Structure 1
Amino acid sequence: MGKTARVPRLTALLAAAAAGAIALSGALPSSAATAPEPASPQTGSAIPGDLAKAFDAAATKYDVPREVLVSIGYAESHLDGHNGLPSQDNGYGLMHLASNPQNRTLSEAAKLTGLPVEQLSKDSAANITGAAAVLDSYADQTGLSGDARTNLAKWYPVIAKYSHSADAPTGRLYTDEVYRIIGEGVGAVGTQPKKVTPDRGAYAKVAPLGAKSASSIQAVDYPGAIWNAACTCNYRVGRTKAITTIVIHVTQGSYAGTISWFKNSAAQVSAHYVIRSSDGQVTQMVAEKDTAWHVGTENPYTIGIEHEGFVDQPSWFTDAMYRSSAAVTRNIAERRGIPKDRAHIKGHSELPNQTHTDPGPNWNWDYYMQLVNGGDPNPPTYNFTTYGSGVRVRTEPKLTASIITELPGPTQVFVTCQKQGDTVNAEGTTNNWWAKLRDQGGYMSNIYIQDPNPKLPGVPVCP
């Protein structure tokens, strides 16, 4: 959906594997695409030190927990202000201060802080200050005061209000994501993981969008999707042409924000599917038989798939997202007899009469198309630093990281499930190299990867 090409921020580069590491799954064929690095809050974009200070100052001035501010910023933008350019629903800055009929946090921030809109939109420190002021105001409105302000669990309704979601289920989707990030921490700005059980208040009675009912499963075309309909004012019932093309978009915003926007009568846009960055969750908002408004004049013959994130920020394009999206595209193509090639699976910018740039230069088309066609172009490469007596391995391409450590004794086996993208502490650094082992509690030896059909009797299989 991105209208304007954005200038990428510098992103933090992960260090190379330590000397002595060994590749365990073999080299890739020269034609295989490189799998994208999974993103996590601990390894987001490189952030200047003064940004951390801006969060400190705003949290102190407005009595808003730093974890709340940082996690909202990460959920909205991965802490990237995008050079003051707006999101798809006219939100600005890394805190997404918005200016649309349903969300006026930008003007509210200007009134509360006395800062001009131009500064709030383009200066990251001002943007953080503005968001803190708005959250402070909402906390006052919900009666959150005194010592309760320090209780992270109590901020749930305030964060939900800040989202200005189209409905309560979408508000819960947004706020649950913020609390997920609070739980993981955002290492780039020094926020440590904090496991919090949120006090959802009235939202406890709101069914999360991930809880699919039998009717919702029947309502969608793709069995793995959650059905959450767009506003009927944002698409056309029926088709005037046969479906021949699948279109790949980037939302220029967050997953929950995009869903909310497509439900908003002011949007006048929609897509058939929206896919979440962190885990590849799929929401369908328009039935394939109907015409979503996503590529202007080319709407009648296309199906649109939106991907959470921003075109200039590759951290959003996780392997989970690529694989989930490819599964959706493959399913659509096979059901509808659409060839699985680049002539029929296109980016938004590749359609006629378009001004948008998505999915942009960071979208890995080679990798994506190999996944669409049923292959795994990049089976995992495991690089483990060797300790003690070394490393033993059993693996296969579809493995998703089960770690087994044998303890002393012929029958003692300790199992740790470690998924791609998990944060791992290794060699004095914290990152999401799933090739690194978690600390098993001391001297690590006899460590190997378990395949999905273990030969050892009694060894559990990780999900």
Structure 2
Amino acid sequence: MLRRPKILAALAAVALPITLTGVSSGGPPATAAPLPAPAAVAATAYSAAAAKYGVPESVLLAVSYAESRWDDHGGAPSTSGGYGPMHLTALGASEVADLSGKQKVATADSLQTLDKAAKLTGLDASALRTDTTANINGGAAVLASYQKSLGLPVGAETSPAEWYGAVASYAEAGDKVAAAGFADDVYSIMARGAARTTNTGQQVVMPAVAVTPDKAQVSKLSLPAGVKPSTSNVECPPSLGCEWLPAPYSEFGTAGDYGNHDLANRPKTGKIDYIVIHDTEGTWQGVLNLVQDPTYVSWQYTMRSSDGHTWQHVKANDVAWHAGNWYVNMHSIGIEHEGFAPQGATWFTESLYRNSAKLVKYLAAKNDIPLDRAHIIGHDQVPGTVPSTVRGMHWDPGPYWDWEHYFDLLGAPIYGHNVFPVKAGSIVTIKPGFQGNVQVVNNCDAPGTPCTPQGTNFVYLRQAPDDNAPLVKDIGLHPDGSDGTTDVSDMGSRAAAGSQYVVAQRQGDWVAVWYLGAMGWFKSPASTPDAFAKPGLVVKPKAGKASVPVYGRAYPEQAAYPANIPYQTVTPLQYSIGAGQAYPVSDLNIETDYYRAVTFAEQPPADHVQVIGKDRYYQIWFGHRMAYVRAADVDVSPAI
């Protein structure tokens, strides 16, 4: 969508928090790399630490699971500076500098549990970061100190019900609502029980414990009460404790310039089809400062990494400027998550994942959005609007966002069952796992350097069924026709978890799928598959058509526009679907429309109009992003 000249330049420069970095032309073959081998730690470390510091083992295990799912991440910090399975935090100087006033004092104090653990245990801070046993001991000591500070009994034999206040304190939250939300998560984990193999290969089991915690203990915490959504301005589930921090809808500069979103009346002015997952590429306070700048852009929610605390900025019925594609903006809600897509050594926290899933489930239910990867999408799935914008589209949350775990938390696991055979003509869903799926990625921290090995959410696609074959081409990202690369920002040769494709061929362990108008090959042995077949609908070019175009937006035909609204040209992207190819349908019922909103007003004026067309489109899976095809160009049929 075109806006006034001055703001157009600003939007082009800052519309998204990540810019596409220079794509490398080479690099090592994109085969899986081994993880470093950290020292294995037996699950008995939890029982030993619980006994030593007087914490019920079930409480210690459940807190650790809620923080990290018991992974130590090889000693690498989380996006909020937390380490190890207990997520002991050490706020860096840059993060402290990013805060102001009372926030700086309160947050810097709460986000220093690693130093607190060092004082309580006598262990070196370096050991607490990198040694899993030391980290578990540090977390147990901090929990016990919180229990004592509340004047409550300490001892491994004490009832887990008596530890609610200490668990809430461990959240490092900014208010009692958020702290209680974390404690509720911990006790729900305790009630269900859990078992998994950690990143060090250790099997940890936590039996289910039925307990009714003393929630009144949260009143003893020295924290502000917080805002409950039921009595505030925000649109959030009650357990999340969101705050309202409005993005400015205001005029600035010369006449006609305004920011940083548009008033609307969704779903009457366009239904909400998508929730877009972003990461901030900055720390939370800096991002909150940006969203309050009328010359910048906007999104509906920001979520802090350390505790999943959430701010809402734009109402769901209004249109935020966050996706870099006006059609997707018209039909989506954007959530920014504190984190850094290119920094391969960091990891997104479990608190962030869990609270984000709570928010997405709430918004999806409220707006009738399907809980699948075609509608709960990454910013990296948003297509370019016209050929010239494809290369500059953004790629967050990036290769290190665990889509499989995220959809487990949403209660809508990504499909992964060997029920149907994977054969030519079938639809397959990519599910490579995350923890053990370590793909070669480059240039996270500096040009020409490999990224720290860790789990990734994708498989690479090659031009032939050979480990040494070049990666598939993406003419949108590489207009010169060069091969795909392993650069962290180069999404052009990747099939991410949850994405769907139609099988073109199969040769032994190798599967070829239709991808960006050509075939892309990946290895998926029957014994350890990375893709699973499922029923569904596919689109193919109508008989007699050598190829059909694909589009980055579903805009109306020219005849649909009133005389006072300029026609928004329907422009195909640089890709096409050739005869004999097929792509999965991800939505047959999208709106063909354009929301005209180019003037400032306190209420949506008469010229804020939804133009609705008669030319139907379908949303399809196409390469690493979604795309749209005209219904008149294709036939829809069940997959084989």
**Between Structure 1 and Structure 2, which shows a larger proportion of helix residues?**
1
Of structures 1 and 2, the one scoring higher in RCO (CA 8 A, sep 6+) is 1
TM-score by length of 1: 0.49
TM-score, length-normalised on structure 2? 0.37
- Higher radius of gyration, 1 or 2: 2
Greater percentage in strand: 2
